[in-house]
Amino acid sequence: MEEDNTQKRVRGRVKWFDPAKGFGFVIADEGGPDILLHANVLRNFGQSSVADGAGIEISIQDTTRGQQAVEVFAIDPPEPGDVPLLDDVAALDPAELAALPMEPARVKWFDKGKGFGFANVFRNPEDIFVHIEVLRRSGLADLQPGEAICLKVVEGRRGRMATQVLSWESALKEKKD
């Protein structure tokens, strides 16, 4: 059986994605079989992970093993009701949060099992707390040490903390638009 090189653009939701395994699956809004999302395709978009339930727009192609994503065009965070707000963030005015500037940063470390990690804003040695729920709200599932990201940061009860995380490439694209 030959592969069909015809590509089709579809929207859907991430069923699950495991960065350790290097793949996950997408369910198209129009239905049909699960679509394989390989980590390399996600990396070409500029992300190393994506949250379960995140909206995604991809180009797919039929292969001998089924449908497979070949390019990612957009990722939207999971629906707000699916991920709870942290107490420190829930108390803040949503308009103020939206107006915060994006700050370029690099991941110091992140432990998905513990549910948190730290990043450093460029030219500032102070650690910024990054909670896994903030990642999920931002459409991400995991971060890698040294990964370039952009953060919206507030002063929380225990210090500076991220309220939004974007991949470096997504933040650059958002700035151009």
What is the tens place of the pLDDT at every residue in 155-164? 877 788 998 8
Both tokens assigned to 88: 């420190």
β-pair type (55-63, 7-18) = antiparallel
What is the tens place of the pLDDT at every residue in 87-141? 555 556 678 777 888 899 999 999 888 889 999 998 888 899 998 888 888 888 8
Average pLDDT over residues 7-30: 90
H or E stretch covering 71? strand 66-76
Alpha-carbon span 56 to 16, nearest angstrom: 12
The DSSP code for 81 is G
Nearest by Cα to 55 from 9, 27, 13, 17: 13
Domains (range + CATH), the chain:
8-76 (2.40.50.140), 87-175 (2.40.50.140)
Give me the chain's average pLDDT, please: 83
pLDDT-above-90 percentage for the chain:
33
CA atoms within 13 A on the CB side of 148: 9
User: Which residues have C-beta within 8 Å of that of residue 9, sequence separation ≥ 6?
Assistant: 57, 58, 59, 60, 73
Question: What are φ and ψ of residue 87, in 5° steps?
Answer: -55, -40
pLDDT of 56 reads 94
**Total length of the chain:** 177
